[in-house]
Amino acid sequence: MRISNIITDKVVAKIPYQGKPEFVVELAYLSRDELLKLRKEATTNVYDPSTRKMEEKVDQDIFLEQYAKKVILGWEGLTLKYLKDLLPIESSDSDDTEIGYDTENVVQLLKHSSAFDEWVTMVTASLESFRHSTKN
């Protein structure tokens, strides 16, 4: 038996956010190879005049957007009440107002909430999180 013949391309799981069971995030497990591809897509070579050498530079905005698209596939139950616990916001809307899933909202949440970013990183790094999930 060859490992390469039984590796699955993508495993997806719906996982409740820590301490907020109504906020469920659909996450994809990405292999190390996939993560390296994302990094490579966001990397350019730039000349550093101080060292007189070409150096790799990762464009964090490009990486974050690609990462968001590949890893966070959806969510449900994110309300203003929960968002207030993740990042500073100003809104006169009801705490029950739901925040819709789209790439821009995901990127903003990852950029401005270290708690959410760290949770996504921790969960997606643990294969155990995906043990009882579905293959997509």
| Calpha distance 105→34 (Å, rounded) | 23
What is the CA angle 21-105-74, rounded to 5?
Answer: 50
What is the reported pTM?
A: 0.83
| Calpha distance 78→21 (Å, rounded) | 10
What domains can be seen in the chain, in order of their start residue? 3-131 (3.30.2220)
| Calpha distance 107→96 (Å, rounded) | 22
Query: Digits of tens for pLDDT over the chain (136 positions)?
Result: 998 888 877 789 999 999 999 999 999 998 888 899 999 999 999 998 998 899 999 999 999 999 999 999 999 999 999 999 999 998 888 889 999 999 999 999 999 999 999 999 999 988 888 886 554 4
Please give the C-alpha separations between residue 75 and each of 93, 100, 104, in angstroms, as whole numbers. Answer: 20, 8, 13
Instruction: State the pLDDT at residue 104.
Output: 96
